Amino acid sequence: MRVIAGTARRLRLKTLDSMDTRPTQDIIKETLFNVIQVDVPGSRFLDLFAGSGAIGIEALSRGAEEAVFIENNRKAVSIINDNLAFTHLADRAEVITGDVMIGMQQIEKKGVFHIIHMDPPYNKDLEKNVLMYLKNSKLADEETLIIIEASQETDFSYLEELGYTIVKDKIYRHNRHLFLKKKD
């Protein structure tokens, strides 16, 4: 896995050698950033279920002002820190070790993020728990772009009831990116 564009372009990132994380393939990451490329420069980026940190690091490389990574796997957190040091992007990053729900509570005082990306383990309804939290959180407002990487089978029929609008649904061969915003 590599950084695709920006200041850390072409640098290879470490990944976790286990089935505990599922690194986003470079081609899917490139497609994702093609969709959000105009939103990234100067943004505050929140990377939930961060894994190796590749998505948040890509955002930093492409000009995000800051990125916060939340990951509960300690080995993955070590890899995120190694990748941030290797790419020279650590000065604009904060890494939180722990459960995503608790981590979001810890950073609530940081205020609104422009982009929130989550790549939770598939088919465990973790994205629903996060969206329920974000509904009344100061981490997201009506301008925040929330991106969920999920399996194609994930049920999102509850989104409107929770107060979210689908901006875009990008379907790939085995998974999808769902782009959401809170309703006004």
pLDDT tens readout for residues 161-180: 999 999 999 998 888 999 99
What pLDDT score does 93 carry?
Answer: 98
Closest CA to 117 of 59, 66, 183: 59
Indicate the pairing of strand 66-71 with strand 44-48: parallel
As a whole number of angstroms, the distance between CA 6 and CA 171 comes to: 25
Q: What is the mean pLDDT of the chain?
A: 91
Query: Considering Cα of 78, then 64, then 34, then 133, what sign does the dihedral take?
Result: positive
Burial class (CB in 10 A: 0-12, 13-18, 19+), 122: middle
Residue 96 has pLDDT above 50, yes or no: yes
What pLDDT score does 19 carry?
Answer: 46
**161 three-state secondary structure:** helix
Query: Considering Cα of 11, then 175, then 182, then 30, what sign does the dihedral take?
Result: positive
Instruction: Locate the domains of the chain by residue range.
Output: 26-182
Q: Write down the H helix ranges in 41-152.
A: 54-61, 74-86, 100-106, 126-135
**Tens of pLDDT along 59-69?**
999 999 999 99
What pLDDT score does 14 carry?
Answer: 77
**182 three-state secondary structure:** strand
**Phi, psi (degrees; rounded to nearest 5) at 181:** -140, 155
What pLDDT score does 12 carry?
Answer: 77
26-182 folds as Rossmann fold (3.40.50)
As a whole number of angstroms, the distance between CA 172 and CA 152 comes to: 8
**Tens of pLDDT along 70-86?**
999 999 999 999 999 99
- Give the full edge-to-edge strand order of the sheet including 44-48: 93-97, 66-71, 44-48, 115-118, 145-151, 175-182, 164-171
**Tens of pLDDT along 1-48?**
766 767 766 777 778 775 455 556 667 888 899 899 999 999 999 999
- The owner of tokens 């505990």 is 20
As a whole number of angstroms, the distance between CA 171 and CA 183 comes to: 23
